[in-house]
Amino acid sequence: MADTLIDTNLLILALRNYPEAIPLLKRLKAAGALHISVVTRTEILAGMHPSEEGRTMDLLSSLSNLPVDVASADQAGRWIYTYARRGIQLSVPDAIIAATAVAHGLTLVTTNAKHFPMPEVSVQPASL
């Protein structure tokens, strides 16, 4: 497998000790580099309990953190606009995460594949 962009939901499961999340991350890491969007970092920190800070920061620091560039922000905005006209609501974080995956040629690994209907995005559903 190629390098991957890990979605927020998979990291939350790992941090909450979901039994299959850590082994999945280990398998993905053995197959290629693991990346997250800085948007994922923001979402994780926003939901972090104070007692989880050390473990959370260790996990986030072990991953390549990709910034949001202007082209990705523009693509995310265009997707939100286009899909809204079709009656499909994309969240700003999900659209930016998807645009980051496309910009870097990464496969997006998520437990919520339905959040990423854009055909340009290579999505690998994480079955946990």
Residue with tokens 């609501």: 89
- Pairwise pLDDT comparison (49 vs 118), residue with the higher score: 118
Neighbours of 18 (CB within 10 A): 14
Average pLDDT score, the chain: 95
**Cross-strand partners of 120:** none
Name the pTM for this structure.
0.94
Over residues 14-36, the pLDDT tens digits come to: 999 999 999 999 999 999 999 99
Structural domain span for residue 97: 4-125
The enclosing domain of 14 has a CATH number of 3.40.50.1010
Q: How many domains does the chain have?
A: 1
Q: What is the pLDDT of residue 127?
A: 79
Whether the per-residue pLDDT at 105 is higher than 90: the answer is yes
